Every structure is written in C-alpha cells, then in structure tokens.
Copies of this chain bind each other. A is one copy, B any other.
C-alpha cells in the first residue's frame, strides 16, 4: 500500500476507534444516570437514561456501517482486520450494555410510580453497580490502550460481580420470606441486579476481544486463568 493511502487508512481506523470510545463514554454515563435515578427517584434522570438508548443505538448503526465500509474499501489484513472485528464486536456489547442501563431506568420508573420508596438491599446493588462500572471503564481503557493487564483484571473482576449477584439473590429470598408483601419490590431490585450482572458479562466480553486483538488468540470460552496466562505472558 502506498504510504499516503496507508496514512488515510490509519486516520479512518483511528476515527472509528474514537467513536467506539465515545459510545463507551455515553453508555457509562447512561448507567450512572440510571443508578442515580434509582437512588433519588428523579424522573428527569430516569427519562434521560431511557432516552439515551436512542443515541447509543445510533452509534451502534453508525460504527457498524463504518467498519463494513473499511472492510469493503480498504481490505484490511492481520492486525488491522482484527482491530475492525474487535470494534464490531465491542460495539455490539456496548449496545447491549445500553439496553441493560435502559432496563434499570425503566425498573426505577416502575418502582417510584408505585410508591415503593423503600428499596431492599439498595446498598448492595449500588456496590454491584460500582463494580460493573469499574469493569466497563477498565474494559474501555484496555481497548483504548491495548492494555492486556487491564483486560485480564476485568475478566477476573467478573467473578466478583457474579458472586455479589448470587449474594443479593440469597438476601432477597430471605427478605421476601420474612415479609411476602415485599415480593414485588424485591423482584424489581433483583431485575436491576441481574442487569448489572449482565453489564459485567459484556465488559468481560469486551476485554476478551482486546486479548484477541493484541495476541490474535480467541480466549472467549476459556478459563480466567487461561485468559490471564495469555494476556500477561
């Protein structure tokens, strides 16, 4: 490839890469807004987190389209192609994280519209949200800097989020048994915890793509130890 074309190509790739990061920032903010809406019952925040989903979807369509144009016109190979593939897959996961953030906001809306202001295990759910957000930030960072150490940390952190989710289920079961009138609100909180657990899963997927991008090895269906070995060696 002549140098000026190769430069053009780099600029194109770089531009899509920065769109992916912008989309990531938007999704991150959407989760923060949804959780703030849950904490406060502020309907403006709740509606904002719901309507943000349209913007997330627009990024999804735009980035996907840009990646396909790059493949068709530039015919990338090797690490460039892996980068394009990683962006396509990362975008899919970011879009689904956006769906989960929207679900949290919709659930919050339902909770406050039915006057159930006492939220069981809210403290634990907020802690789960902090962990999931930390995973997402680190996954975006790993993508931005091709940082395999960060990627491996995200994959490991997913175990903790899953464990906290199981703990919340156990606590909510006890709570519901003690007072069956809390069943509806407990199920709503459970859905929110489930959404956060899935956000963790998506952040983990994103980190596995980073390992694939850098190492050329698909580590998606392997153990945490295997991912760490591949990422850190």
Contact = CB atoms under 8 A, between A and B. Distances in A.
A73 to B, nearest CB: 9
B218 A64 contact: yes
A195 to B, nearest CB: 11
Contacts of A177: 180-181, 183
Interface in A177-195: 177, 180-181, 183-184, 187, 190, 194
A57 B173 contact: no
A221 B91 CA distance: 14
A78 B64 CA distance: 14
Nearest to A85: B68
Interface in A80-108: 81-82, 85, 88-89, 92
A57 B221 contact: yes
A59 to B, nearest CB: 11
Interface string A1-40: 0000000000000000000000000000000000000000
B60 A81 contact: no
Q: Which residue, A78, A82, A183, A190, has most C-beta atoms of chain B within 10 A?
A: A183
Interface of A: 54, 57-58, 60-61, 64-65, 68, 71-72, 75-78, 81-82, 85, 88-89, 92, 169, 173, 176-177, 180-181, 183-184, 187, 190, 194, 218, 220-221
